[in-house]
């Protein structure tokens, strides 16, 4: 018999096709960023000092340094306004300040957006919540929702793989989905995250009355929870507060000074000899554990509870022994997989929240209730942790995370990033959103966020159909983009014009649109010296490629042409963006 293990796998047409994503840089649009007057925590002096080279980011690709190499064309690097935003992005990714000031609202396709975040945020996101289009075939006012099933799976798989890379070791992903794709998505998630990292399929009661127009009305949506690693997640997952119905079960019939309490079972299943003693009730009756059970603790433990006045025998002192559990000592309860609308809201509640935020006619079509997201964020994170939603919709996750003191990143492709997310989040920062969970968490305003867009593709076609560096890139953007592409950390030096970034302490990168001569390369090589190495990315060079032991010289764009798909801006869930089916074997010769 073959020892080869078979693997259960969902396959579909085009599964093997994987986009080769361009790692874009993010550009802040400062006029859309919004901050309260003061940080939630002020930037500490020490951090400011420690933020190495912070002032030099982007700006130090400076003209005067460049001029140190004779005859270099004077490509003027814009002393970019983005230096501040990149510094803040780094500090935000490292959680140096631990406040909610530099959260990120990103407009663009989330596949490119997630890829853009990968370098700085891999392993840093504690909780991802997504509410993707459910592929129901409906066209909502703000976005379309319906592509061929296998394509939907491909598009989701590509995003899930990137999301997994962003999660912390104890992080978790939460996805809402209805029954159209839920079961396929479950198998897909098992494949990406590993079946052992499936935590739960929570059933959220989205409706409280059936839809009478159809044969069987759906009452729920699924909320999948996957952990980066189940064991790590279960150590950090928070209990949830007791619901009102549960707290009502705590009473105080004997006026115990410790407050309301609930009688809990004092027996346990099984037979353990040291838990099988007699108990004499206040009435004088002697009782033993019922058949098949023992007492919950040893006799010594029982005596301790008695001394603490925690044993209860009914109003007449003749009932089965019970243990008093005080409400004040309850840390919360383990969440379970049934989330009724009474606890976390329903779709109509979400609609009302959206209508209160926007004009009735412009309310978002498919928002989630703030209470639902609050519970997810409560279980999965603590204040200061980073929450990501890459299908941000009307901004609910960002708004809730902000009110709960979590840092957040939201990505939204649609126009409503500006018409809904932006004004909603401004209101949250300004303390002018009284709806949703505001009262419950006591949110008064503060913090802020920066608005980013994805940079255009680094390469574009010229009029002769050749790939060239996009005209929209200035020198600083080019240096940063090439760093990202080559896996270097962009950190231009104040003093050395050729140090735009580093991969190790001794390995640097220098990007220029210049045509470098042999003399210039030799001068660079001498300056770099034998202890360091430098990757030089330039438009052209006239020296000997192998002639400089400490330099690797590459031409842009030629050296990067095959690296990724250039000029592709939209990988969204729309039919026109679908990967083309590869020609059948043998067909190639026909073209
Ligand atoms: C169901 S809505 C999310 C609603 C959100 N939970 C809320 O409470 O408002 C799904 C969102 O995903 C967005 N979306 C779809 N494809 C996207 C993509 N490729 N990149 C970014 N956003 C995308 C849609 O524009 C839509 O706003």
3-state secondary structure of 522: helix
Cβ of residue 128 lying under 6 Å from some atom of ligand 1: no
pLDDT the model gives residue 138:
66
C-alpha 416 to ligand 1 mean position (Å): 9
Structurally, how many domains does the chain consist of? 3
The partner residues of 226 in beta bridges, in order of sequence, read 173, 198
User: What are the b/e assignments for 39-59, b being 16+ CB within 10 Å?
Assistant: beeeeeeeeeeebeebebbbb
Q: Contact at 8 Å (CB) between 374 and 349?
A: no
373 and 518 inside one domain = no
d(CA 104, CA 20): 25
Q: 129: domain CATH number?
A: 3.40.50.150
447 and 384 inside one domain = yes
The protein residue whose alpha carbon is closest to atom 14 in ligand 1 is: 391
Choose one of 454, 477, 506: the last residue of a domain.
454
142 and 266 inside one domain = no
Query: Nearest CA to 502 among 487, 481, 524?
Result: 487
Tell me which H or E stretch contains 398. helix 396-403
348 and 416 inside one domain = yes
Ligand 1 site-directed mutation target among 117, 133, 152, most atoms within 8 Å of CB = 133
Residue 500 lies in a domain: yes
432 and 408 inside one domain = yes
Residue 465 lies in a domain: yes
Residue 564 lies in a domain: yes
Tell me which H or E stretch contains 137. none
504 and 533 inside one domain = yes
State the pairing for strand pair 103-107/448-454: parallel
C-alpha 133 to ligand 1 mean position (Å): 6
pLDDT the model gives residue 8:
80
Residue 589 lies in a domain: no
287 and 432 inside one domain = no
- Evaluated on CA atoms 225, 105, 500, 475, the torsion sign reads positive
Predicted model pTM:
0.84
311 and 368 inside one domain = no
Choose one of 409, 431, 454: the last residue of a domain.
454
Ligand 1 site-directed mutation target among 112, 162, 412, most atoms within 8 Å of CB = 412
User: What are the b/e assignments for 280-312, b being 16+ CB within 10 Å?
Assistant: ebeeeeeeebeeebbbbbbeeebeebeeeebbb
Residue 192 lies in a domain: yes
Residue 8 lies in a domain: no
The helix-helix angle for 396-403 and 422-429 (nearest 10°) equals 10
Query: Nearest CA to 279 among 295, 268, 265?
Result: 295
128 and 230 inside one domain = yes
Ligand 1 atom closest to Cα of 110?
20
Q: Contact at 8 Å (CB) between 505 and 522?
A: no
pLDDT the model gives residue 150:
83
Residue 267 lies in a domain: yes
- Evaluated on CA atoms 185, 352, 376, 125, the torsion sign reads positive
Evaluate the omega torsion of the peptide bond into residue 557 and state whether it is cis, within 30 degrees of 0: yes
Cβ of residue 386 lying under 6 Å from some atom of ligand 1: no
Residue 16 lies in a domain: no
Query: Nearest CA to 193 among 150, 149, 151, 162?
Result: 162
d(CA 41, CA 100): 8
Cβ contacts of 118 within 8 Å, gap of 6 or more: 23, 162, 165, 166
Q: Contact at 8 Å (CB) between 129 and 376?
A: yes
Q: What are φ and ψ of residue 372, in 5° steps?
A: -65, -45
Q: Contact at 8 Å (CB) between 449 and 417?
A: no
Full 3-state SS string of 321-370: CEEEEEHHHCCCECCCCEECHHHHCCHHHHHHHHHHHCCHHHCCCCCCCH
341 and 320 inside one domain = no
Mean pLDDT split into 10-residue runs, the chain, 591 residues: 69 90 96 83 40 33 32 36 71 80 95 97 98 78 68 92 98 96 95 97 96 94 98 98 89 94 96 96 97 97 97 95 95 95 96 92 93 98 97 98 97 96 97 97 94 97 95 95 95 93 97 93 95 96 84 93 92 58 38 24
Ligand 1 atom closest to Cα of 396?
8
Length of the chain as a residue count:
591
Cβ contacts of 484 within 8 Å, gap of 6 or more: 23, 24, 25, 119, 490
Choose one of 420, 454, 488: the last residue of a domain.
454
483 and 450 inside one domain = no
> Tokens at residue 332, please?
């919360």
d(CA 447, CA 100): 5
C-alpha 109 to ligand 1 mean position (Å): 10
d(CA 116, CA 23): 5
389 and 517 inside one domain = no
Cβ of residue 556 lying under 6 Å from some atom of ligand 1: no
Cβ of residue 414 lying under 6 Å from some atom of ligand 1: yes
User: Containing domain of residue 490, as a range?
Assistant: 61-83+456-579
């Amino acid at each position: 018999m073959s020892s080869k293990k078979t693997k259960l796998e969902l396959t579909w047409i085009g599964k093997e096709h994987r986009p080769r994503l361009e790692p874009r840089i993010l550009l802040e649009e400062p006029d859309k960023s919004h901050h309260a007057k003061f940080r939630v925590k002020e930037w500490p002096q020490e951090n400011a000092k420690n933020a190495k080279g912070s002032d030099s980011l982007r700006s130090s690709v400076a003209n005067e340094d460049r001029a140190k190499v004779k005859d270099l064309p004077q490509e003027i690097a814009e002393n970019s306004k983005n230096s501040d935003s990149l510094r803040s992005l780094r500090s935000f990714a490292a959680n140096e300040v631990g406040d909610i000031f530099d959260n990120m609202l990103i407009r663009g396709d989330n596949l490119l957006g997630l890829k853009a975040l990968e370098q700085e945020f891999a392993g840093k996101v504690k909780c991802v919540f997504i509410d993707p289009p459910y592929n129901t075939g409906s066209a909502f006012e703000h976005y379309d929702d319906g592509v061929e099933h296998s394509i939907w799976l491909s598009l989701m798989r590509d995003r899930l793989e990137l999301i997994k890379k962003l999660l912390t070791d104890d992080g978790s992903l939460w996805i809402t989905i209805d029954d159209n794709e839920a079961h396929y998505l479950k198998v897909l998630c098992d494949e990406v995250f590993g079946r052992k990292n499936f935590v739960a399929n929570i059933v959220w009661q989205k409706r409280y009355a059936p839809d009478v127009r159809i044969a069987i009305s759906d009452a729920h949506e699924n909320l999948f929870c996957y952990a980066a690693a189940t064991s790590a997640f279960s150590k950090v997952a928070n209990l949830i507060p007791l619901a009102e119905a549960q707290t009502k079960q705590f009473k105080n019939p004997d006026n115990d000074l410790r407050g309301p309490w609930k009688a809990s079972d004092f027996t346990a299943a099984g037979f353990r000899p040291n838990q099988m003693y007699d108990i004499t009730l206040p009435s004088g009756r002697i009782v033993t554990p019922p058949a098949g059970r023992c007492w919950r603790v040893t006799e010594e433990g029982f005596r301790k509870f008695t001394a603490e006045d925690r044993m209860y025998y009914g109003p007449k002192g003749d009932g089965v022994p019970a243990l008093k559990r005080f409400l004040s000592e309850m840390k919360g309860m383990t969440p379970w997989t049934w989330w009724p609308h009474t606890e976390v809201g329903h779709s109509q509640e979400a609609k009302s929240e959206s209508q209160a935020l926007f004009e009735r006619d412009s309310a978002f079509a498919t928002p989630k209730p703030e209470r639902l997201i609050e519970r997810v964020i409560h279980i999965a994170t603590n204040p200061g942790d980073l929450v990501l939603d890459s299908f941000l919709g009307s901004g609910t996750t960002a708004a809730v995370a902000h009110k709960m003191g979590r840092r957040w990143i939201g990505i939204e492709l649609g126009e409503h990033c500006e018409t809904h997310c932006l004004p909603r989040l401004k209101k949250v920062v300004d303390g002018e959103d009284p709806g949703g969970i505001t009262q419950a968490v006591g949110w008064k305003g503060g913090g802020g966020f920066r608005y980013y867009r994805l940079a255009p593709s680094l390469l574009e076609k010229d009029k002769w159909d050749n790939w060239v560096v996009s005209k929209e890139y200035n020198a600083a953007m080019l240096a940063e983009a090439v760093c990202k592409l080559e896996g270097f950390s962009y950190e231009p030096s104040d003093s050395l014009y050729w140090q735009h970034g580093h991969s190790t302490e001794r390995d640097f990168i220098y990007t220029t649109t210049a045509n470098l001569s042999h003399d210039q390369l030799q001068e660079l090589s001498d300056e770099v010296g034998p202890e360091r190495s430098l990757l030089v990315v330039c438009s052209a060079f006239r020296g000997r490629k192998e002639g400089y032991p400490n330099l690797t010289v590459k031409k842009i764009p030629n050296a990067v042409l095959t690296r990724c798909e250039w000029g592709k801006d939209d990988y969204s869930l729309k039919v026109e963006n679908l990967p083309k089916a590869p020609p059948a074997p043998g067909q190639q010769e026909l073209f």
